[in-house]
Every structure is written in C-alpha cells, then in structure tokens.
Amino acid sequence: MPDAIINALGTIAAAFVGVVTWYLASRHDRQREAAERVAHRQAEERLRDQRVLDIVVALHSEILAGIVANRRQLSKEDAEYAMAQETPFATADDTDFVFDSVKDDLSILPAEVIHSVVQYYRTAKQSNLLTVDLRDPYFISQTPSEKRRIIGYLLQIVETQKILGEAALADLSAFAGKQGLDLTENETRAGKLLLQAREEMKLIFRKSERSVRTSKPPGRRKR
C-alpha cells in the first residue's frame, strides 16, 4: 500500500477520533449544564416552597392572635356592657403586618387559602374602621338609640370576623399539614392561655374589690 494512502487513512482516523472526542466532551458539557439548570430550578422551588410555608405559618399566628383577642372581647358581659354605653371607647387593632407584607402580591399564597384569608382580613379592616368611628364627633353627636344600633352592628362584624378567622385558620392548618407541619397544637395552646388569662383577671378583680371594700373608712354609728 502506498505511503500516501496510509498517511491519508491515518489522518482520517485521527480526525474521526478527534470528532468523537469533541462530541463526547460536548455531550458531557451539555449534560452537566442541564443538570445544573435542573438543580438550580429545584433549589429555587425549594426556597419558594419554604417561603410559602413560612408565610402560611406567620399568617396562622397573626390570625390566631386576632381570634384570641376577639374571643376575649366578645364575652356576654362585654357585649352587654358595650351596648349599655352612650360614649363607648375602643382601640382599633391595626397590627396586621404579616398580611400587609404580602397583600400586594397574593400569588405567593397557596390558592386554597387565599379566599378565606382575604375574607378574614377584609372583615378585620371593616371592624377597625367602625371602631375608629366611635371617636368621630359625628358619631358622638348621635342619639343614644342610634349609637346602640351602630355598636350592635360593630359587634356583629366582630363576630363575623371571628367566624371567618376560624375558617382561615382551618385552611392554613390544612395546607401546613400537607407539608408535614402540625399547627393545631398552637391553636390548643392559645385556647388554654386565653382561659388562664380569664381566670387570672377574675382573681385580680376579686382582690381589687376586696381591697376597695377594706380601704373604705367605717361609717359612723348612729346614737
């Protein structure tokens, strides 16, 4: 075989080996890049899932705190006292900083909790506006019967807020449960703390009443 043919075959073989080597290296690089893209996407999804869960837990905590305060305000005695006042006084609870941080982008929330969460916070906002109105000079100038009507409406809104809040808590707990996180223990603990606070307040009031009675000077005896 002439040397020229042998050299040509050697060149072709070398070129073939080079092409195969380049293809294998390129294929490896493409596979590595694809794997990196998948890993990056999965990392972003994990971060988003964790952020969503963190927000769900934070909203659960915020709504639970509102419900506990709501239950404390809506006792039978407090409702009767409020209806009997001609110049009621209350402070609006405008401290919903968790919802305020996400309300401009509700897409961060799971679809299954958006409805009940938005309903709760809308009603909470409505009750706050009505509470602020109790200090308005226009309200103060109303007749006692008109004031009672407005106060009764406010109490209805607050009761609705409690019901919607409990629904939102259920939805948030259900979503967290699917992620392996149990939030019901927090609700149980909050209920126990509320009962404990009520008992302690009753004890404080009883001690205060006894202190007032014992501090009064004795009346003069009739001769």
Q: What percent of the chain is helix, strand and coil (3-state, nearest 5)?
A: 80, 0, 20
Q: Confirm if 124 and 158 have CB atoms less than 8 A apart.
A: no
10-residue stretch averages of pLDDT, the chain, 223 residues long: 63 72 74 71 78 92 86 71 77 85 88 94 93 88 88 90 94 93 80 64 63 58 49
Structure tokens at 205: 């009031």
Residue 1's pLDDT is what?
A: 52
Domain edges within the chain: 3-215
Residue 207's pLDDT is what?
A: 64
Q: DSSP secondary-structure letter at 180?
A: T
| Cα-based torsion angle of the residue sequence 76, 77, 83, 88 in order, rounded to the nearest 10 degrees | -130
Residue 25's pLDDT is what?
A: 76
What is the share, in percent, of the chain residues with pLDDT greater than 90? Answer: 24
3-state secondary structure of 158: helix
How many angstroms separate the CA atoms of 81 and 75, rounded? 10
Dihedral (CA of 12, 18, 21, 22) sign: negative
Residue 120's pLDDT is what?
A: 95
How many angstroms separate the CA atoms of 133 and 127, rounded? 10
